[in-house]
Amino acid sequence: MVATGKQNLQLDWGTIALYGTLVLFGWMTIYSAAYNPLLPSPFAFSEEYGKQLVWIGACIFLIVVILYLDAEVFNKLAVYIYLFFVLLLMLVLVIGKEVNGAKAWFGIGDFGIQPSEFSKIGVGLFLSKFISSSGLQLKNLRMRIQAFAIIGLPAFLILLQPDVGSLLTFLAFILVMYREGMSGNVLIAGFASVVIGTLSIVIGAGRTTYPYFGEMSSIWTFIISLFGLAILALIFVRNFVVPRSRRMLYSVTVISLILASTLAFSINYIVDNVLEKHHKERIYVMLSLPVEREDATYNSEMAKITVGSGGFFGRGFHQGPMTQNNYVPEQWTDFIFSAVAEEWGFVGSVAVILLFFALIYRLVALAERQRSQFSRVYGYCVAAILFMHLLINIGMVLGLAPIIGIPLPFFSYGGSSLMAFTILLFIMIRLDAERLSIFR
């Protein structure tokens, strides 16, 4: 279907207002955190706040372009957009610039472009197209595998960079697939994995002396406990469950036990032998386990101190002693939330979290009111990606997640992230604006 004309666009001004508020708040925070007293002008283009203004300008341009485009374009070109970004992800592995050990950037003069940020747009569009065009729901195994392949290809390329943070945000698409009919067991399994994984690392870091075996990692205690739980479950099933369900529950118990033990064992192996040392340290720091190098805790400690320094009402704009003295390294990028927390306090931090919640809530509402499945799935993609960033980034600042370098949407300094999120969001706004004229 073709758009009915620009005059009839029904833009969702609420979402746009939320976007504007977040971007403005974000820029102010960058201005405060990256402030250079020698160049106080917001238009100091050599400084982060000046550059970010340029990116905001670029975003306004992008918004206008998106709104002028025909909504049908996104549906039709979804595959090509996806392939284009996959190509970029391959290219960056070859000619990319290495920053902090990851080949994730195209360097253009002073500016860098991070294709992994943009690739989420491609995945979101293609996944929406795939799910909507199949006409089926995601109960079919073959379809699920295909959907995972769509997500997996760019994810794999990002892993090669390697950029674990960006990779994790791809988990957002699992939430989308859940909404579109994939079994809810995946969420339960995911939650259980996080719990078992965390417990395994915490318990596995200690050492226990076992009779006959001597001193070994305490992980065996945990695995033995899992076996004990499984036996209890089997006894329970045998005695309290009606016979026809028993068989299924027996196998569920045994399979869960095998999976859980494998996870418990392998995650420790991975943490000890596969992950790089600083990754292991970050996980240990988050879990308050002892680390060898004291400075491994530095970023996490400083972030928490900076957040705590804010108190209830905050120190005021430009007044945060931790922020103004740059105690948190590169605070204007991944740790920007700590600057919000210090200068605007509990009140401001909660406001930011509520703004994000409102935006996600609004996006879910937008998605649900779409007539086209394509638009709906895409809406959920945007909401879920925002949520994953929020979850990991703020969790990291608050010491609840390991230190994973991903940006806080609209806040963190950086053109790639800001433009990618703007495009992601405004495609949805554009799709929504024509919801009444699309009937698929």
Partner 1 sequence: MNNDNRRYTFLFIVGTICVIYIVRLFALQVATSEWKNRGSRLTEREVIVYPSRGNIFDRNGKVLVTNQTVYDLMVLPKEVVAFDTLEFCKLVNLPYDELKEILKKSVTYPNVKYKPSPVIKQMLPEEYALFAERLYKFPGFFVQARTLRTYPENLGSLVLGDVGEVNKDILEKHPDYRKGDYIGLNGIEKSYEKELRGKRGIKYVYRDNLGVEHSVENGQLDSAAQEGVDLYSTLDAELQKYGEKLMQNKRGCIVAIEPSTGEILALVSAPTFDPNLLVGRARGQNFAALAKDPLKPLFNRATQAQYRPGSIFKLAQSLTALQLGAITKETRIACNRSIIGCHGPHSMDDLEMAIVHSCNPYFRGVLQRVVEANRDPNNRANDAAMGLAIWNEQIRKLGFGSNLGSDLPGMKKGNVPSPEYYNKKYGVGGWNFSTIYSIAIGEGELLINPVQMCNLACIIANRGFYVPPHTVRQIGRGGSARTEYVTRIDVGVKPDYFETVVNAMEKVVGPGGTANSIKLSDIVICGKTGTVQNEPREDHSVFVCFAPKENPKIALAVYVEYAGFGGTWAAPISSLMIEKFLKGGTTNTAREEQMMNAKILN
Instruction: List residues binding partner 1 (CB under 8 A).
Output: 35, 37, 137, 139, 175, 178-181, 184, 187, 293-295, 298, 304-312, 318-319, 321-322, 324-327, 329, 341, 345-346, 349-350, 353-354, 356-357, 360-361, 364, 367-368, 380, 383-384, 387, 390-391, 394-395, 398-400
> Least separation, in Å, of the C-beta of 228 and partner 1?
30
Report the residue number, 307 or 403, with the smaller CB distance to partner 1. Answer: 307
- 167 or 175, CB closer to partner 1? 175
Taking the C-alpha atoms of residue 128 and residue 147, their distance in angstroms, rounded to an integer, is 10
Measured from the CB atom, the residue of 279 and 369 that comes closer to partner 1 is: 369
- 406-420 per-residue burial string, b: 16 or more CB within 10 A, e: under 16: bbbbbbbbbbbbbbb
Q: Least Å distance between CB 324 and partner 1?
A: 4
Cα gap 188→298, rounded to integer Å:
34
| Closer by beta carbon to partner 1, 8 or else 137 | 137
3 state DSSP class of 118: helix
Residue number with CB closer to partner 1 (139 or 277): 139
Nearest approach, Cβ of residue 328 and partner 1 (Å): 10
Integer Rg of the chain from CA: 24
Q: How far is the CB of 323 from partner 1 (least distance, A)?
A: 9
Distance of closest approach, residue 432 Cβ to partner 1, in angstroms: 16
Question: Is residue 369 exposed (0-12), middle (13-18) or buried (19+ Cβ within 10 Å)?
Answer: middle
DSSP for 52-65 reads HHHHHHHHHHHHHH
**Distance between CA atoms of 407 and 35, rounded to whole angstroms?**
19
Identify the three-state secondary structure at position 121: helix
Q: Name which of 135 and 243 has its Cβ closer to partner 1.
A: 135
- On the 0-12 / 13-18 / 19+ scale of CB atoms within 10 A, 209 is exposed
- CB of 166 within 8 A of CB of 85? no
The distance of closest approach from Cβ of residue 354 to partner 1 in the complex, given in angstroms and rounded to an integer, is 7
What is the smallest separation between the CB atom of 402 and partner 1, expressed in angstroms? 15
CB of 379 to partner 1, least distance (A): 10
- Given a contact cutoff of 8 angstroms between Cβ atoms, the answer to whether 234 and 250 are in contact is yes
Q: What is the dihedral of CA 121, 11, 432, 75, to 10 degrees?
A: -50
Q: Is the peptide bond before 407 cis (omega within 30 degrees of 0)?
A: no
Nearer to partner 1, 356 or 410 (CB): 356
CB 330 to partner 1: min, Å? 11
Using CA atoms, how far apart are residues 301 and 333, in angstroms rounded to an integer? 17
254, 262 in Cβ contact below 8 A? no
* Cβ closest to partner 1, residue 89 vs residue 172: 172
Least distance (Å) from partner 1 to the CB of residue 137? Answer: 6
- For residue 113, the cross-strand partners are 106
Q: Which is nearer to partner 1, 76 or 278 (CB)?
A: 278
Tell me whether residue 96 or residue 399 sits nearer to partner 1 (CB atom). 399
Token pair listed for 198: 């965390």
